[in-house]
Amino acid sequence: MEKINENNNFKVPEGYFDSLTDQIMDKVAMEAPIESKNEGFKVPEGYFDSLEDKIYRKLNEGDTQVIALNPYKKYYYIAASVAAVILVYLGVQWNVDGTPTYSDLANTDIENYLEFDDLGISSYELAEMLPIEEMDMNDMLKYRIEDENIVDYINSNIDDFEELNLHDNE
């Protein structure tokens, strides 16, 4: 065990707890007021003799009717859930304009899909699938080139028209 601290200032005199209860009872008796006949509550004579019989008679009198405090509570819940379902349905229908079309997609969405999704198709295979007959050069360019601009370019940059190979000799 640890050594008891000798500097402990809390000490109790010897025999203090032996006479403590007697001292407390004496103080309570001195401070208690003198009882008078008019103070407190009185019980009629023989009250507790017949009390048990009275309680048993009241218990056996019959079933009492139970009154529900909120009988329509379940109907409120049903009505609230139906209203919530209708509101959700109308909210979803209101935001839907119809089925999306190809024109609704942004060009960047299509490019990202083709570039980052693993379709297992190379760019050459994708080019083979595109119908070339229906395509125009301006479909592939960002800015539209007018025919007269092409003619001006050819006139200014090409000396020999034979180099162009404009004949359908394939």
pLDDT confidence of 37, banded at 50, 70, 90? Answer: low
pLDDT at residue number 79? 93
Is residue 119 a part of any domain in this protein? yes
Within-domain flag for 21: no
Which range among 24-28, 36-40, 94-98, 155-159 has the greatest average pLDDT? Answer: 24-28
pLDDT one-digit tens code per residue, 62-110: 777 777 777 788 889 999 999 999 999 888 877 666 676 777 677 778 7
In a domain, 146, yes or no: yes
Contact 126, 114 (CB under 8 A): yes
Q: Is residue 116 part of a domain?
A: yes
Q: Supply the pLDDT for residue 64.
A: 73
| Contact criterion met (CB below 8 Å) for 135 and 143 | no
Among 32-46, 69-83, 149-163, which stretch is predicted with the lowest mean pLDDT? 32-46
pLDDT score, position 3: 63
| pLDDT tens column, 40-65 | 678 888 888 888 888 888 887 777 77
Total of domains in the chain: 1
Residue 60 domain-assigned (yes or no): no
Say what the pTM is.
0.23
* Residue 111 belongs to domain spanning: 104-159
122 is a domain residue? yes
